Every structure is written in C-alpha cells, then in structure tokens.
Structure 1
C-alpha cells in the first residue's frame, strides 16, 4: 500500500458521507433485502469510510501516477 495521499478535510468528508450512505443503505435494506443496489451502496460507502480512515485512495494514486508519467514524457 502507498503512503497517505488525501488530506484531512478530504478524509473527514469521506468518513462523514460514507457513514451517512451506509446508514441510508442499511435502512433501505431492512425494507427490501433482495434489492442488490442497496447492497452496492453499503459496500461502496464502507470502502469510502475505510479510505478516509487510512487516508489512502487507490483511484487518486493511479490518477497522480498517470499525471506524473505524462509530465515526464513531455519533458523528454
């Protein structure tokens, strides 16, 4: 795993929104447990909470690496 690549405000936002969406999905699952879209909301929001806690986002890491690679190619 890479080093931390998101800031404090970004991490707090991910945790807050992730927890809100997890609760939203869980409440909806109580009424309709067969609905797979609510399961996806819960899983994706749990991933966002985890990203906020460890302050590492793999998508941000990939984007930063691609931007760095493209700037290195332009300098050559």
Structure 2
C-alpha cells in the first residue's frame, strides 16, 4: 500500500473525521436516533483511518483510471 495523501491532507482528514465521529456518537446516544448517525460514524471512522494510513482508496482508483486512459486515450481495444 503506497501512501498517496500528504501530511497536511492527512491531518485535515483526521480532524474532520474525528469531528464527524464525535457528532455521530453524540446524536446516536439519543432515544430518537435512526440509521444516519451510524452511517456518519462509519464515514468519520473511514476518514480517520485514511488520515492515519495516508492512503485514500478513491484517489488510488482515480490515479489508476487516469493512467490507463493515458495508455489508450480512445478507450479502444487494440489486440496487437
């Protein structure tokens, strides 16, 4: 797993992830909470994990797709 996120971006991801995680835990403690705090807590935890590992799977997929488009710009199949 190659790091694809810089230090500043990692710190921002950790901070925003912890804010989202804290908000979702505080909303999840109430009686009337539905599924949204659970979903937002998963998203917040994912952002914290991305910041700690300095790896973002979405950036990885975008870079891989972009490099494949550079190899064959017309997206045509060339069997040669």
Give the alignment's TM-score, normalised by structure 1: 0.90
- Structure 1 alignment gaps of length 5 or more: none
Contact 2:14 2:49 in 1 (8 A): yes
CA distance in 1 between partners of 2:29 and 2:8 (Å):
32
Larger radius of gyration: 2
Aligned residue pairs total 74
Tell me which moved more, 31-40 or 45-54. Answer: 31-40
- 1:25 paired residue number: 24
2:10 aligned with 1:8: no
- 2:61 paired residue number: 62
In angstroms, what is the RMSD of aligned CA positions?
A: 1.5
| The structure with more helix, counted as a fraction of residues | 1
Give the alignment's TM-score, normalised by structure 2: 0.85
Q: Deviations over 1:35-58 (max 9, x none)?
A: 111100001110110000000011
Using a 3 Å threshold, how does the CA distance of structure 1 residues 28 and 40 change in structure 2: closer, same or farther? same
- Structure 2 alignment gaps of length 5 or more: 74-80
Using a 3 Å threshold, how does the CA distance of structure 1 residues 60 and 26 change in structure 2: closer, same or farther? same
